[in-house]
Structure 1
Amino acid sequence: MRVAFFVNSIETEEPRFTTTALAMAALARGHDVCYITPGDFVLRPDDSLMVRVTTVAAGKYKNAQAFHDGFQSKDAKVQTIDVREVDVIFLRNDPSLDSDDRPWAAYIGAMFGRLACERGAIVVNDPGGLALAQNKLYFQGFPEAVRPETLISKNIEEIRTFVAGHRKGVILKPLQGSGGKNVFKIATPDDANLNQIFEAVSGEGYLIAQAYLPEAKAGDTRLFMMNGKPLVRDGVYAAFRRIPAKGDLRSNMHAAGTAEAAKITGGMLAIAEMVRPKLIEDGMFLVGLDIVGDKILEINVFTPGGLPDIAGMHKIDFSEEIIEALENKIAIRKVYAGSLPNRALATL
């Protein structure tokens, strides 16, 4: 099969990225691999959807750096093909990275992904599902039992009242965004920094005020879900703990957080089971649950990362399972002769 990985840009991809691990796993299993970016689609007057692809040369690469150097080199093969020549488009861009400088690019993957589905490509995560998840408001659609108490508002007095009702403090962050940008802890409604923080963050839109979970000081656990179930091999879960840097609230790897092995508890698996129905309903093939205690802080449905870290800890490359799952979807589609909608196929 031909697998196309949709990313923010070729230049900003790095060897340590989970997308790199997935692409290398696809190559190792004998598939054709290419990369596409937001500016690469063309819808022609005859309604054909073309896409400009950067193809990764077949062969074995000794490591992720060698692979990375190969597809980013000036000699990489670039061509325009009909999207019908692509079997799977794996949407792996982070919309928040484009929201400021290239707002037009942020959700191009979901937009053109829908058109690609109509022309026979399997697109994961389902573009219709991703269109529902364009900001953190999507999280409010999951069971209340798995979510910290949350207020979403642009009114500072509403936020003060919410803070006053939470003696352990509140986390304040923008509704739109990721990677730990503009995340603050407010201890009391009289916090001297509240006005300044509100002015800075509210300029980006609505704010989320979320009850602070003291367990978050020790970090959170990212658990990968595939096809609506925890990803596991030989009793080892695709999961890791994200530990905040000293003096930092955020455990995001982009914010200098570090990774260590995680212990998956029965409580975490119960949380995963509670969110499973909605993940399946929305066609979310691969996601990362960020868990603290008995709550989920966030659900990453666009670019859940960390598979190379997990491989380093456990000597298990879960990328192989993910690519095999895509192979199975191709086989299922052939059996059903295109009668299954993409959203259903995405989580089978």
Structure 2
Amino acid sequence: MKLAFVVNRVETEGPKFTTTVLAQRLHQRGHEVFYLDVGRLDYVRDGRVGGLGHFAPAGDYTTVDEYHEALHGNLENARPVHTDELDLIYLRNDPGEDAAERPWASSAALMFGQLATQQDTIVVNDPFGLSHALNKMYLQQFPKSVRPRTIITRRIEDIRRFAEEEGSDIILKPLLGSGGKNVFVVREDDHPNLKQIVEVIAQQGYVIAQEFMPAAAEGDIRLFLMNGSPLMVDGHYAAVHRMSAGDDIRNNLHAGGSAKKAEITPDMLRMIEMIRPKLIADGMFLVGLDIAGDRLLEINLESPGGLRGAGLLEGVDFTTPVVEALERKILCKQNYGTRISNRMIATM
């Protein structure tokens, strides 16, 4: 089987990235794996979609580091690869990463991905479902009981009023962003500086003002869902309890946070049951939930990270069930063709 991962830049993909560990496991299982740069996709005259495919040469790479080194040592040998030979395309690029320097690239994967589904190639997560979830506003489509109180605006007056109504600390962050960039906690005594903080965030577009969740002070939990259900292996959840560094409220690991084993509570599982119907309806194959207490802080749809770290903490391999799920989707497509939609296959 032949699969391709769409990423922001092939050259910047690291050995610890979730995409890399999945690609290495797929390679181990005998599949041909390609990387497509979201800035170098193309649609050719006969309707095929693809781009310049980067790949690791044939070989037995027993570790992720070996696979990563082989991939990056072979960049000059990339070749064109298109939907006529691809069974599945996995969109793993982060639109927020391209928003500033390459705004034209932030939605490219969705546009090309939608065309690819018309070429009988599976695309996950479903690009039509993702088009309705381009930013953190997607969270507002879920029941109020599972998410923090929130407003989204560029008006400082509205944000100041929200802060006063909350009567306590609030969180400010960009609507389109990732990795903990420009995320601020505004304390009650910081309100005089509110205008300056909003102006910084508003340079990227709309601003999210959100109630501060006290449970977030103890960190948040990144929990993976696959096909709408918690990803589990031998009773272990694919989850990481992320802690902030010192007074930094950002729990993202590449923003300086640390990680430990996560405890998944019955309240969290009840919350997941409330959100899973929409995730399935939208064709969301693999997502990462950021949870504080029993509330959902964010849903990471495009390129949720942390799968490797969760496996190391729990002492199990979470990549195999993900890869096996992809294999089942390809088999389903081979058996049923267009009789089952891409969105349905994405979460089967």
Per the TM superposition, whether the score is higher than 0.5 is yes
Tell me the CA shift for residue 119 of structure 1: 0.3
Q: What is aligned with 2:345?
A: 345
Deviations 1:153-196 (A, max 9, x none): 11111111110111331101111111111111122387222111
- Superposition deviation, residue 76 in structure 1: 5.5
| Map of 2:200 onto structure 1 | 200
Q: Per-residue deviation at 1:102? A: 0.7
Inter-partner Cα distance in structure 2 for 1:164 and 1:8: 40
**Alignment match, 2:140:** 140
Aligned-pair identity (%): 47
Equivalent-residue separation in structure 1 for 2:82 and 2:158 (angstroms): 51
Give distance in 2, aligned partners of 1:49 and 1:62: 32
In structure 1, list runs of 5 or more residues that go unmatched: none
Asked whether the 8 Å contact 1:160–1:189 carries over to 2, the reply is no
Alignment of 1:231-310 (within 5 A): 231-310=231-310
For residues 337 and 44 of structure 1, what CA distance do their matches in structure 2 show?
A: 23
For normalisation by structure 1, the TM-score amounts to: 0.97
User: What SS does the corresponding residue of 1:193 show, helix, strand or coil?
Assistant: helix
**Within 5 Å, which residues of 2 pair with 1:142-161?**
142-161=142-161
Q: How far did 1:63 drift?
A: 2.1
Match of 1:170 in 2: 170
Point out the more displaced range, 332-341 or 127-136. 332-341
CA contact (8 A) 1:173 1:183 kept: yes
Give the aligned CA root-mean-square deviation in angstroms. 1.4
Shift of 1:230: 0.5
Q: How far apart in 2 are the matches of 1:164 and 1:347? A: 42
Distance in 2 (CA, whole Å) between partners of 1:46 and 1:330 is 23
Structure 1: distance between partners of 2:171 and 2:82: 46
Structure 2, unaligned runs of 5 or more: none
- Inter-partner Cα distance in structure 1 for 2:64 and 2:190: 50
Mapped contact 1:23–1:33 kept (Cα < 8 A): yes
CA drift of 1:74 comes to: 4.3
Give the whole-Å Cα distance in 2 for the aligned partners of 1:2 and 1:92: 16
TM-score by length of 2: 0.97
Encode CA deviations 1:297-339: one digit per residue, 9 max, x unaligned. Answer: 0000011111111121122111110010011111212232321
Which residue pairs with 2:323 in the alignment? 323
CA contact (8 A) 1:129 1:282 kept: yes
**Alpha-carbon shift at residue 4 of structure 1 (Å):** 0.6
Partner of 1:45: 45
Cα gap change, 1:233 to 1:75, in 2 (>3 Å): closer
Partners of 1:52 and 1:11 in 2: CA distance: 13
Cα distance in structure 1, aligned partners of 2:174 and 2:39: 27
- One-letter identity of the residue aligned with 1:322: V
Separation in structure 1 between the aligned mates of residue 342 and residue 312 of structure 2, nearest angstrom: 33
Match of 1:65 in 2: 65
Aligned-partner residue type, residue 135 of structure 1: N
1:112 equivalent to 2:109? Answer no
Q: Is the 8 A contact 2:120 2:337 kept in 1?
A: no
Q: Which amino acid aligns with 1:22?
A: L
Q: Measure the CA separation in 1 of the matches of 2:239 and 2:135.
A: 24
In the TM superposition, residue 223 of structure 1 has moved relative to its aligned partner by: 0.8
1:258–1:189 Cα change, 3 Å? closer
